[in-house]
Each structure stands twice: as C-alpha cells, then as structure tokens.
Amino acid sequence: MADYSSALYTAQLAAITNLAAAPNLRDYGGDVRYIHAKVTLPSTASAAELLNICYLPIGARVIPSLCTVQPSVDPGACTLDIGISTNPDAYADGIDIGASAAAAPVRFDTNLCAQALTPDKLTDETLVYATVATETITTESVLTFHIAYTLG
C-alpha cells in the first residue's frame, strides 16, 4: 500500500531532524483571523448593487470555506457574489441567501470558486464587497458576514 503526503507533512517530517527545515506555518493557514461585519440589505436593493463589507490588510488570504453569510430574516429570493474589485466573485459566486439561509449560515464556497483552492495573497489594503447577483427581495434583512483570512 502506498502513502501519499502533503507538502506540509513532508516539511514537518524533515524538521524533526533539521529544525532549519521547519515550514513557515503561515504559508499553510496558521494564524486564522475573523472579521464579523453586518450590512443591511434593503428591500429595495436591485441587481448589481454593492454591499461594502470590509477592508482586508496587505498580505491577507481569504479562506472561503470558513466564511459565511446569514440574513436576519428571509429576504426573499436573492443570490450574492462576493469578492474584490479585480474579481467580483473571487470568494463566492451566486450563493443563495434566500429562505433556507435565514435558518443557518451559508458558506461562501457553496458554489466552488478558484480562491477556495488556491487563495491569492492581497497586495494592497483591499475592499471586500458583495454584489446582488439576482433578486426578488421582499423584506429588509441584516446580513451578518464572517470573513476568515490568514496573513503571511
């Protein structure tokens, strides 16, 4: 039977006998930080409108599989893209925040995006925002965003 190893495991194994070979854990997701932000989605919001969530610092790498959004009440039919100016759906692409989302948070990676597999490091302080992709919004709702990222 064969063994298959991650690059992290291989580097950690080498460090057992040579501490100088120890991997930089920040490169592997160490020091996870969270931002908790709330944005009101008005009942009058329409497609292509923006919800400004937060600025992330230089060097941040967003981890979409640890990020969520949850409406305070069912806003009606609505999907969001979440990203940055250079890639408006970098972190979430068409996630549904309708009826079921009011009961449980929706993870950003519900519809897999490239950043879920290979997160880019931000080179500038960068605004993260949501774009209303599709909507038939009937009720104002406060959206609670949890953005997980690492630095390094």
Regarding predicted confidence, which is higher, 75 or 111? 75
Residue 104 is predicted with a pLDDT of 80
Percent of the chain with pLDDT over 90: 55
Question: Which of 73-77, 109-113, 115-119 shows the highest mean pLDDT?
Answer: 73-77
Average pLDDT over residues 77-100: 90
C-alpha span between 68 and 145 (Å, rounded): 6
Residue 27 is predicted with a pLDDT of 72
C-alpha span between 132 and 49 (Å, rounded): 6
User: Which residue ranges does the chain devote to CATH 2.60.120?
Assistant: 31-151
The string of DSSP letters for 61-95 reads EE-GGG-EEEESS--EEEEEEEEETTEEEEEEEEE
Q: Which of the four pLDDT bands, split at 50, 70 and 90, describes residue 68? A: very high
Regarding predicted confidence, which is higher, 47 or 21? 47
Residue 96 has pLDDT above 70, yes or no: yes
CATH fold of 31-151 reads Jelly Rolls (2.60.120)
Calculate the average pLDDT of the chain: 88
C-alpha span between 131 and 51 (Å, rounded): 6
For the entire predicted model, the pTM comes to: 0.83
Average pLDDT over residues 22-48: 87
Residue 22 has pLDDT above 90, yes or no: no
